[in-house]
Amino acid sequence: MTDWGLLDPGAADRAGTDDDAVLATMVEVERAMLRAWGDVLGERLDAQADALDASAVDRGALAAGVERDGVPVVSLVPALRTQLDAAGLSTDRLHLGATSQDVVDTALVLVARDALRASRASLVTAGRRLAALAHAARQSPRIARSLARHGEASTLGVLAAGWLEGVTSAIDAIDATRFPVQFGGAVGTGAAADAAAGRTTGAAELRAGLARRLGLADPGRSWHAERTPTLAIASTCAIVIAPLGRIAGDAVFLSREEVGEVRLASAGGSSAMPHKQNPVDAVAITAAAVEAPGLLQVVASAAVAGDERSAGRWHAEWSAVRRLARLARSASAAVDRLVGGLEFDAARAAAIVRGAGPAGARPDVEVLAAASDRIVDAAVARFIRTAGTEARP
Amino acid sequence: MTDWGLLDPGAADRAGTDDDAVLATMVEVERAMLRAWGDVLGERLDAQADALDASAVDRGALAAGVERDGVPVVSLVPALRTQLDAAGLSTDRLHLGATSQDVVDTALVLVARDALRASRASLVTAGRRLAALAHAARQSPRIARSLARHGEASTLGVLAAGWLEGVTSAIDAIDATRFPVQFGGAVGTGAAADAAAGRTTGAAELRAGLARRLGLADPGRSWHAERTPTLAIASTCAIVIAPLGRIAGDAVFLSREEVGEVRLASAGGSSAMPHKQNPVDAVAITAAAVEAPGLLQVVASAAVAGDERSAGRWHAEWSAVRRLARLARSASAAVDRLVGGLEFDAARAAAIVRGAGPAGARPDVEVLAAASDRIVDAAVARFIRTAGTEARP
Amino acid sequence: MTDWGLLDPGAADRAGTDDDAVLATMVEVERAMLRAWGDVLGERLDAQADALDASAVDRGALAAGVERDGVPVVSLVPALRTQLDAAGLSTDRLHLGATSQDVVDTALVLVARDALRASRASLVTAGRRLAALAHAARQSPRIARSLARHGEASTLGVLAAGWLEGVTSAIDAIDATRFPVQFGGAVGTGAAADAAAGRTTGAAELRAGLARRLGLADPGRSWHAERTPTLAIASTCAIVIAPLGRIAGDAVFLSREEVGEVRLASAGGSSAMPHKQNPVDAVAITAAAVEAPGLLQVVASAAVAGDERSAGRWHAEWSAVRRLARLARSASAAVDRLVGGLEFDAARAAAIVRGAGPAGARPDVEVLAAASDRIVDAAVARFIRTAGTEARP
Amino acid sequence: MTDWGLLDPGAADRAGTDDDAVLATMVEVERAMLRAWGDVLGERLDAQADALDASAVDRGALAAGVERDGVPVVSLVPALRTQLDAAGLSTDRLHLGATSQDVVDTALVLVARDALRASRASLVTAGRRLAALAHAARQSPRIARSLARHGEASTLGVLAAGWLEGVTSAIDAIDATRFPVQFGGAVGTGAAADAAAGRTTGAAELRAGLARRLGLADPGRSWHAERTPTLAIASTCAIVIAPLGRIAGDAVFLSREEVGEVRLASAGGSSAMPHKQNPVDAVAITAAAVEAPGLLQVVASAAVAGDERSAGRWHAEWSAVRRLARLARSASAAVDRLVGGLEFDAARAAAIVRGAGPAGARPDVEVLAAASDRIVDAAVARFIRTAGTEARP
């Protein structure tokens, strides 16, 4: 019994975050752990690592294991052991000194990191497009609105620059996020790993090696019951999604038939009205932006852990963190499509500002022109600096 | 790319709520609509209804359609039309006068209703068990705690009666919930259905017929942008889950090694500690109870709809409502297992109260005995009255 | 150190929900409890009840008591005892058999009930206005929008009828809400009250009497750790607010300068743009609608209680429930003002639909006319039936 | 009508965050803006700045202004102008080129910064205490629990070190948070400030000067509709509170009468059970930890802004951000009290581990001793490095 996307327009990009991908990542963690043990113990364990095969694991048995044990790793490890046995390889070093949480947490950090990397790539492309839009429209007047009323004159360039600032902040948030490995054994002391290594630094060496092989940070500790790392990752996802939701909302409004400052290329169909063209990318982003705050709340609630691993709160974290990562990736891809097909109608924007009465008469045209130049330049410069890219391809 | 339960111990019971089931329900709605049109138009449309086959619909194409159109129905209707064509049947009445929202909303109401029915059945079984536990232990003293400290003496019967009250409240909430059909056409006026019927009551007749055939309420209106019906259903799910979370929390604490007033049969394994027996049903319920409030929040946020169908908020509702229904069903099944295997250790409870000093000395034993009788009787009577069942099988 | 409304445009109506009012209600509960004890014990306790004076209680001492004890009642009871002493009256019956939770819970239920009653009164007035607007505009064409795009023709009457349905649903939700008294003593057994009454029915009699005197329901039990009653009240508040948020959102959009189907009388000023008129009632409602789902989530999380009174979850409930009640009352008052000053511009709406191309050409005019009549009539009839009022004053 | 703390045990420390303090901060912003304009314009405006007096502003009029205008600044500026008039000073430069949002956003950033600074100070004190506890108990065995069951042996030192890691992460999150000034004028272009300065860099100079005078960061832009700065601040508050909630939860459990590994000094009274000593600091922290995730969700929802200032979402942000700051400050003060009075009962912990059967037999004592040393040392070192303090006073 599976979910394959029937009800998820806001989370359509499931690449790298679906259960198969998470399972593959869990096996990747076990594999990296074997190699790291190889280094710590001075053994050759590459054959064992190579022999592990996520695609051959029985999904039905794993799902049943989740229901029986509350965690998939209790079933996964024997399944992998069977693979090693079948290959005539030793199983002694598999999952050595580790507990379920080491595998689940590390795998979810990897899944989130990769989703946010994909998100970042989409954001850089979208940012370039917005930079070009802003530059081209820096002297195109429009009416700026506040509290849903005409405020005073601005430019389409300032509008696009404002959107770009959100994209840049999203990239900045991703770049500031730490993705730490988790390793602590049964109750976080690493004692079993120390014992297996035969020295007091065993767990620390294994954790460092695991981090290096997976490209994660070594936090120098086990964070099994100190959940600020996952809460920080979840916050980043929400910080990525919020400004994209704003772009989508503005684009939906400004492309309304009565407004028309913006034209959107993206268009979904309707089952009742064949003539309709729906702003489907903006819809998807908005759906993600409505859902993400609730998921962030779940992770923040779950972060109030207990004991050396809490009885239920930790478990609530998994699907919320995974889904936040999926939403961030999906919304970033959708915003890339949205702005890729977004055009300004400068003539229509100018007509609105001309008809806007006292609101449109402010401020002085030359002052605005200079301010617009400055704002667009600053936004583009911050984007380039943050994204580490040229503004244009 | 699918999710099959790897990360969802709190939502393990996916029966009736997975994407295949929701799709089957959408097709069931289209089928019922055909039959209802048959009644309204005086035509025989049963052959068309019978010819629709959810299992033959291409899931990959539907998922792609969700991404393209933002809603699955835009792809689903042509796929069903193709089935009718292939059977040499007329497609004229398929989805007649309807819009995507009519199908999605009605299907999700059905999915939620069925999940809550299954939940109710589990709750009735669990309630019977709790009634028996309460009755048997009505004179077994224990210390009642408040603010995590010994309060004063109570009984194990009162404890079980308190849990039973929560189960009864959950059943009561389910029974008070309305499950309305949605039918309004493109923008909620039902105009296309009126036109198709050739009379001004066409849409109203079709809506009533659809409700009757699906066993749903006829709300006498279209609620396409008035989302209190879904918010009420979501609230019911949260009201079901909260008292189950309380039972799980109490059971986890009272079965701690140091306390021991309760023994749990349910036990999941550990990947690091073979000797461990984890309270896996309680863990699953707790995970659901941590997650459900966030989903309720998403539905409440999405309920602030706009236009005749909002651009993104409506879409955010789908997976949240579905998942709340899944959590309610899963948590109810888990609480049934949990209390089914739960035993009181009356001797241990008595020993604690004896050692509790001034807290244990209150209140007077005869007063407490009478109060316990009264409380247990009242809880069992309310359960029987609400559940419409005998307390014991 | 106090909050007096500086940051709360969405919660501006604090009448009946501010700390002074809640304190007065707590004292009202103690007073009603004295009178109810008078009935149970066959004593005259009216003098004691009359002697209690909320306004004379030292607020600073109470606030310090909250910080010291975690609950205000521990300080309140001695303060009231001092009042009785000063009046030369016996203090024996004050707070007899009760615990803090009995007072806090019952007071908050009363506060919520009264706020929802005030909310209901505002909703009835607003509903009458919407009914009149709907009736007057039932044949005024407009374009209905879905997914932020022109859908097909509808009427301004259908629009107002849709808003009215939301108001009716809000009234319906309030009317279906139960407001139960809480009485259970230290750990919910009522043993102390039984002992004080000298009979096994003491607590039950006191609870029934308390309910009668306060106009609350007698739930036949103590719900100290079974928090579905407060969660249900919180859900009602959210169900009230959501459709008001929808009205506000629609009104804000439709009164945009470029659209102009709606004109709003309400107007707040700007510190930077003297020419601006902000839709301040709609802003207040929207702010409430953005905040309410988060508060509902808090109450739902807190409802997963533990022990016979949980160490922190119960405490988190208080301000969330109170604030939800305040938001419901404030938003209802604001929607009353909003629709009271809302006018349709039928000519502008007609012009938009004429210019809407293929979207505006659908459906047939006569079909729409009849559908609009039917929809408006049904909405008004449901409102009258639910509100128990005439549609027009 | 005011709230003064009756219902807020989890938010008891209102210093710096109550309405009076926020109002004083708003006036501080206007004052700093005057001084910054003095620099930009080469004028002496210190007399004007000095003449502004928050305490003399009519609170009732401000509260009425919030209801009328949706924002307090529209009333505040004329009130301040009257103060200047009364002093015979020019009002020309007051609020020059600014809009309400510049004042509200900057004031709330200041309020949050100061609350988080106070929080940090409490956390450093608490951290020192935890470091001392961890060091002293590094060789005191206890049973570590996972999923609410005995896992394997650990030490009380490792337990305290785990709590310390959470405190250190909280400090780290505060130190990584940016507190930017907001200045953009009516619609974020700064055009009015440019015009007032008579040069194109006017707004940028004013913003930089304002930042310098208030000790805030200059973000180089206006973030009026790009709300990631407030969302990041809100996330920090939640990241601070979550690990404190974990400490409180562990302390509550471990100080249960049946467990007794921990003794708490803090104790609140009960209105029904004079013998009881409630863990009131832990209760307060837990209440904050239950509430904070919901407030974070509100800020994340509000961050999906629209237009150049959104009609309601921005307004929903104010009280949520303020309350998160208050909760962070209150919870930090409470955790300082909690751990200040927390003692380990090493004998009791050792007795539990001795009785724990196979769970207690693992791991090897010497391995655990070395691991405990390493973990405590690492935690203390990270705390010292992060907090920039000695571990012991």
Map residue D42 onto helix, strand or coil. coil
Residue in chain D closest to C14 (alpha carbons) equals D1
* pLDDT score for D385: 97
* pLDDT score for B210: 98
Query: Is the predicted pLDDT of residue D31 greater than 90, yes or no?
Result: yes
* pLDDT score for A392: 57
- Taking only Cα atoms into account, the Rg of chain A, rounded to an integer number of angstroms, comes to 25
Assign C379 a pLDDT band (cuts: 50, 70, 90).
Answer: very high
**CA pair distance A82, A87, nearest whole angstrom:** 9
* Phi, then psi, of D322 in degrees rounded to 5: -60, -45
**CA pair distance D272, C192, nearest whole angstrom:** 9
Contact state of D374 with A204 under an 8 Å Cβ cutoff:
yes
- Is B265 or D93 the better-scoring residue by pLDDT? D93
- Asked if the C-beta of B192 comes within 8 angstroms of chain A's C-beta atoms, the answer is yes
Number of Cβ pairs closer than 8 Å across B and D? 80
Residue in chain B closest to C167 (alpha carbons) equals B226
Distance of CA A225 to the CA centre of its chain: 23
- Asked if the C-beta of C11 comes within 8 angstroms of chain D's C-beta atoms, the answer is yes
Contact state of C257 with A297 under an 8 Å Cβ cutoff:
no
Q: At what angle do helices B313-340 and B100-136 cross, to 10 degrees?
A: 20
Assign C274 a pLDDT band (cuts: 50, 70, 90).
Answer: confident
Q: Which of D260, D278, D261 is nearest to D269 (CA)?
A: D278
Cβ neighbours of residue B42 closer than 8 Å, sequence gap 6 or more: none
- Asked if the C-beta of B104 comes within 8 angstroms of chain C's C-beta atoms, the answer is no
Catalytic residue among D59, D117, D270, D362: D270
Task: Please give the share of chain C, as a percent, with pLDDT higher than 90.
Answer: 93
Cβ neighbours of residue D142 closer than 8 Å, sequence gap 6 or more: D153, D154, D155, D156, D159, D261, D349, D350, D352, D353
Q: At what angle do helices B202-214 and B19-41 cross, to 10 degrees?
A: 130
Task: Please give the share of chain B, as a percent, with pLDDT higher than 70.
Answer: 99
**CA pair distance A316, B292, nearest whole angstrom:** 10
* pLDDT score for B270: 73
- For chain A, which chains pass the contact test of at least 3 CB pairs under 8 Å? B, C, D
**Which amino acid type is present at position C360?**
G
- Asked if the C-beta of A280 comes within 8 angstroms of chain B's C-beta atoms, the answer is yes
| Chain B: closest CA distance from residue D74 (Å) | 28
Catalytic residue among B142, B309, B323, B329: B309
Assign B392 a pLDDT band (cuts: 50, 70, 90).
Answer: low
Contact state of A271 with B73 under an 8 Å Cβ cutoff:
yes
The continuous run of DSSP H or E covering C115 comes out as helix C100-136
* pLDDT score for C266: 66
Map residue D29 onto helix, strand or coil. helix
Number of Cβ pairs closer than 8 Å across C and D? 270
Choose the closest CB to C275 out of A273, A277, A359: A359
Contact state of A67 with B4 under an 8 Å Cβ cutoff:
no
- Asked if the C-beta of D306 comes within 8 angstroms of chain B's C-beta atoms, the answer is no
* pLDDT score for B14: 94
- Asked if the C-beta of C384 comes within 8 angstroms of chain B's C-beta atoms, the answer is no
* Per-residue model confidence as pLDDT tens digits over B129-157: 999 999 999 999 999 999 999 999 999 99
CB contact at 8 A, B129 and B339:
yes
Contact state of C189 with B363 under an 8 Å Cβ cutoff:
yes
Residue located via tokens 């068990």: B129
Q: Which of A64, A29, A34, A63 is nearest to A46 (CA)?
A: A34
Q: Is B55 assigned a catalytic role?
A: no
Query: Is the predicted pLDDT of residue D272 greater than 90, yes or no?
Result: no
Q: Name the burial class of residue B201, with classes exposed (0-12), middle (13-18) and buried (19+) by CB atoms within 10 angstroms of its CB.
A: middle
Query: Is the predicted pLDDT of residue D295 greater than 90, yes or no?
Result: yes
Map residue A262 onto helix, strand or coil. strand
| Chain B: closest CA distance from residue C108 (Å) | 19
Q: Which two tokens stand for residue D267?
A: 């104790």
Query: Is the predicted pLDDT of residue D223 greater than 90, yes or no?
Result: yes
Query: Is the predicted pLDDT of residue C360 greater than 90, yes or no?
Result: no
* Per-residue model confidence as pLDDT tens digits over C144-160: 999 999 999 999 999 99
Contact state of B298 with A302 under an 8 Å Cβ cutoff:
no
| Chain B: closest CA distance from residue D338 (Å) | 15
- Asked if the C-beta of A246 comes within 8 angstroms of chain C's C-beta atoms, the answer is no
Catalytic residue among D129, D138, D227, D309: D309
* Per-residue model confidence as pLDDT tens digits over D80-104: 999 999 999 999 999 999 999 999 9
* Per-residue model confidence as pLDDT tens digits over A12-71: 999 999 999 999 999 999 999 999 999 999 999 999 999 999 999 999 999 999 999 999
Chain A residues with CB under 8 Å of D226 CB are 162, 165-166, 169, 243, 246
**CA pair distance A172, A169, nearest whole angstrom:** 5
Assign D361 a pLDDT band (cuts: 50, 70, 90).
Answer: confident
| Chain A: closest CA distance from residue D79 (Å) | 23
Average pLDDT along chain A, 393 residues, taken 10 residues at a time: 92 95 98 98 97 97 94 97 98 97 98 98 98 98 96 97 98 98 97 96 98 98 97 98 98 97 84 82 98 98 95 97 98 98 98 91 91 98 92 57
* pLDDT score for A269: 73
Choose the closest CB to B191 out of C162, C200, C371: C371
Q: At what angle do helices B280-302 and B228-254 cross, to 10 degrees?
A: 160
Assign B391 a pLDDT band (cuts: 50, 70, 90).
Answer: low
CB contact at 8 A, D331 and D284:
yes
Q: Which of D91, D60, D77 is nearest to D26 (CA)?
A: D77
Assign C207 a pLDDT band (cuts: 50, 70, 90).
Answer: very high
- Asked if the C-beta of C252 comes within 8 angstroms of chain D's C-beta atoms, the answer is yes
Catalytic residue among B117, B270, B385, B392: B270
- Asked if the C-beta of A283 comes within 8 angstroms of chain C's C-beta atoms, the answer is yes
**CA pair distance B196, B198, nearest whole angstrom:** 5
| Chain D: closest CA distance from residue C5 (Å) | 6
Q: What is the tally of helices (H) and strands (E) in chain B?
A: 14, 4
Contact state of B74 with A270 under an 8 Å Cβ cutoff:
yes
Query: Is the predicted pLDDT of residue D392 greater than 70, yes or no?
Result: no
Contact state of C253 with A278 under an 8 Å Cβ cutoff:
no
Assign D266 a pLDDT band (cuts: 50, 70, 90).
Answer: low
* pLDDT score for B272: 75
Cα→Cα distances D313→C9, C249, D68, D232, Å = 11, 11, 17, 16
CB contact at 8 A, C247 and C336:
no
Distance of CA B286 to the CA centre of its chain: 16
Q: Is B330 assigned a catalytic role?
A: no
Mean pLDDT of chain D: 96
- Asked if the C-beta of C284 comes within 8 angstroms of chain D's C-beta atoms, the answer is yes
* pLDDT score for C392: 57
**CA pair distance B166, C223, nearest whole angstrom:** 9
- Asked if the C-beta of C67 comes within 8 angstroms of chain D's C-beta atoms, the answer is yes
Contact state of B271 with A301 under an 8 Å Cβ cutoff:
no
Q: What's chain D's length in residues? A: 393
| Chain B: closest CA distance from residue C97 (Å) | 11
Measured CA angle at D194 (ends D191, D196), to 5 deg: 110
- Asked if the C-beta of D235 comes within 8 angstroms of chain A's C-beta atoms, the answer is yes
- Asked if the C-beta of C250 comes within 8 angstroms of chain A's C-beta atoms, the answer is no
Residue located via tokens 């590390």: A106
* pLDDT score for D391: 63
Choose the closest CB to A297 out of D166, D225, D293: D293
Could you say which residues from 128 to 167 on chain A have a Cβ atom under 8 Å away from some Cβ of chain C? 146-152
Query: Is the ipTM value over 0.90, yes or no?
Result: yes
Choose the closest CB to C278 out of A147, A253, A282: A147
- Asked if the C-beta of C315 comes within 8 angstroms of chain B's C-beta atoms, the answer is no
- Asked if the C-beta of B1 comes within 8 angstroms of chain D's C-beta atoms, the answer is no
CB contact at 8 A, A94 and A219:
no
| Chain D: closest CA distance from residue C56 (Å) | 15
* pLDDT score for A361: 85
Choose the closest CB to B258 out of D147, D259, D275: D259
Q: At what angle do helices A100-136 and A202-214 cross, to 10 degrees?
A: 30
For residues D169, D170, D175, D177, the Cα torsion angle rounded to the nearest 10 degrees is 110
Residue in chain C closest to D100 (alpha carbons) equals C271
pTM (predicted TM-score)? 0.98
Least confident of B302-311, C382-391, D248-257: C382-391
* pLDDT score for C79: 98
Superfamily of domain A99-180+224-393: Fumarase/aspartase (Central domain) (1.20.200.10)
Choose the closest CB to B273 out of D152, D276, D352: D152
Cβ neighbours of residue C347 closer than 8 Å, sequence gap 6 or more: none
Mean pLDDT of chain C: 96
* Per-residue model confidence as pLDDT tens digits over B37-65: 999 999 999 999 999 999 999 999 999 99
